[in-house]
Chains A and B, each alone.
Chain A
Amino acid sequence: MTEKLQLVVSNRRHFILGATAAATLLSLPKLGFAEDNGWKAAMEGLVGSSEADANRVSIELPEIAENGNTVPFSVAVESPMTDEDHVKAVHVFATGNPRPDIGSFMFTPANGVADASSRMRLGRTQDIVAVAEMSNGQVFMATQTVKVTIGGCGG
């Protein structure tokens, strides 16, 4: 068989070869914040509510993760970190994993500032939620979308 195929131009960045490949690309999971894999209940269990103002807390993730097994992330909260006014904890949830819990960072005034980093596992493209608990009982949250690609070759 030596018949040659022409490439099909589908958009500026990708030339897709073959209908199956196109279908694979189109079937990428939809982004969206509607899904709930139990993260809302998990959040409620920890801070008493599944809603909070999007304020003061931020979560940083790569826009596109090359592999879901190791996705570096950091969380940060604006806070003076004094005995009277500090961040007690930041909880992180993955809204599209089989299980929502990633981890909870527990801060003290000794930290001086409230930021921390780790690495998480993500099964697919999804939103990540960070929830900050302040010493006065206030709760804030932030969300960030991360696109997860899967490595091709080499079992």
Chain B
Amino acid sequence: MKIKSLVISAATVALASTAYIGLSVAFDDDSHDWGDYQVEDRRSGYTYRSAETRALQDDEFENPGMVGVDHGAELWNIAEGSEGKACADCHGDASESMAKVGATYPKFNAASSKPINVEQRINLCRVENMGAEPFKYESGEMLNMTAFVKNQSLGEPVNVVIDGEMAPFFEKGKEFYYERRGQLDMACSHCHEDNEGNMIRADHLSQGQINGFPTYRFKWQKLGSVHRRFRGCNKNIRATPYKYGSDEYVNLELYLTWRGRGLPIETPAVRN
């Protein structure tokens, strides 16, 4: 058992406790063997959730996010747009063509000279290769298609390129992560690095890993994207959230993907 020390400025505490946060510290259970869900000191959010929540994720049938994956599988075969093509017409069997995608994005996109995530890659195909309307970012179609594509990489260790032309974007994402913001003047790192393993109100703070997105959250009662989670974490410290698909969030997604390198893709993960 180890006790983590927790130091926060008085101003933060005053604001935080009246507004939203009552931090309390619990002991870490370091003895558990989390198998693939832990790589060195990197632990999936899965390992911070209750046995019941983990069981829901583990059961391919009972996992409520799988309904979205099923719907994505249907969309994969439906022709749309001026070219009259479906994803399957160009990419064939997703279990082969998409096997690595979920674990290797965000990837550099030469045309826009910046990294793009899976959602944006899907919309590129819809617009440029299918002549179809892009999916709206947090729409059911987008979430379900993204979940379907990423689910093809289930269990695949996260492995994202961060050097070369990706390097400056990676640095920006890292800066964002450590930058204090919002009325509560907190950075992502204050919760997910300094207080990981502690209790925040009744919630067990994880490392904020993103290897399970889109994730089915009980709170949302549906699948949600990683950018939705970023927005939520920004709002909770009274900071203005960025737009879905914004450069800021894609850079942050890149950095966080790297923080979870080696962890298995869990899409669709189940969280509280």
Consider the complex of A and B and state whether they touch directly, i.e. have CB atoms less than 8 Å apart: yes
* Contacts from A to B (Cβ < 8 Å): 1-5, 7, 13-22, 24-25, 62, 64-70, 72, 149-155
Q: Which of chain A's residues have a CB closer than 8 A to the CB of B49?
A: 66
Binds A, one of B86-94, B102-110, B231-239: B231-239
Instruction: Out of A16, A62, A65, A154, name the residue touching B236 (CB < 8 Å).
Output: A154
Q: A10 — nearest CB in chain B belongs to which residue? A: B24
Q: Which of chain B's residues have a CB closer than 8 A to the CB of A14?
A: 24-26, 199
On whether the beta carbons of B201 and A5 are closer than 8 Å, the reply is no
Q: State A19–B53 Cα separation when bound (angstroms).
A: 31
Q: Which of chain B's residues have a CB closer than 8 A to the CB of A20?
A: 17-18, 22
Q: State A62–B53 Cα separation when bound (angstroms).
A: 10
Instruction: Out of A19, A22, A24, A72, name the residue touching B52 (CB < 8 Å).
Output: A72
Instruction: Out of B22, B53, B272, name the residue touching A16 (CB < 8 Å).
Output: B22
On whether the beta carbons of B202 and A149 are closer than 8 Å, the reply is yes
Given known pairs A1-B11, A153-B200, A155-B232, the reply for A16 and B50 (CB within 8 Å) is no
Q: A3 — nearest CB in chain B belongs to which residue? A: B10
Instruction: Out of A1, A13, A16, A151, name the residue touching B218 (CB < 8 Å).
Output: A151
* Contacts from B to A (Cβ < 8 Å): 3, 5-11, 13-14, 16-18, 21-27, 49-53, 55-56, 64, 191, 199-203, 205, 217-219, 221, 228-229, 231-233, 235-236, 272
Q: State A149–B53 Cα separation when bound (angstroms).
A: 13
B52 to A: closest C-beta gap in Å:
5
On whether the beta carbons of A17 and B23 are closer than 8 Å, the reply is yes
Q: A68 — nearest CB in chain B belongs to which residue? A: B218
Give 23 pairs: A residue, B residue, CB < 8 Å, sorted on A.
A2-B9, A5-B7, A5-B10, A7-B25, A15-B6, A15-B24, A16-B22, A17-B8, A17-B13, A18-B14, A25-B22, A62-B52, A65-B52, A66-B53, A67-B219, A149-B201, A151-B203, A151-B217, A152-B203, A154-B217, A154-B228, A154-B229, A155-B231
Q: Which of chain A's residues have a CB closer than 8 A to the CB of B199?
A: 14
On whether the beta carbons of B17 and A21 are closer than 8 Å, the reply is yes
Q: Which of chain B's residues have a CB closer than 8 A to the CB of A152?
A: 21, 200-203, 205, 236
A92 to B: closest C-beta gap in Å:
17
B134 to A: closest C-beta gap in Å:
25
Q: State A4–B236 Cα separation when bound (angstroms).
A: 23
Q: B23 — nearest CB in chain A belongs to which residue? A: A17
A80 to B: closest C-beta gap in Å:
29
A16 to B: closest C-beta gap in Å:
5
B208 to A: closest C-beta gap in Å:
9
Q: Which of chain B's residues have a CB closer than 8 A to the CB of A69?
A: 218-219, 221
Instruction: Out of B22, B53, B217, name the residue touching A17 (CB < 8 Å).
Output: B22
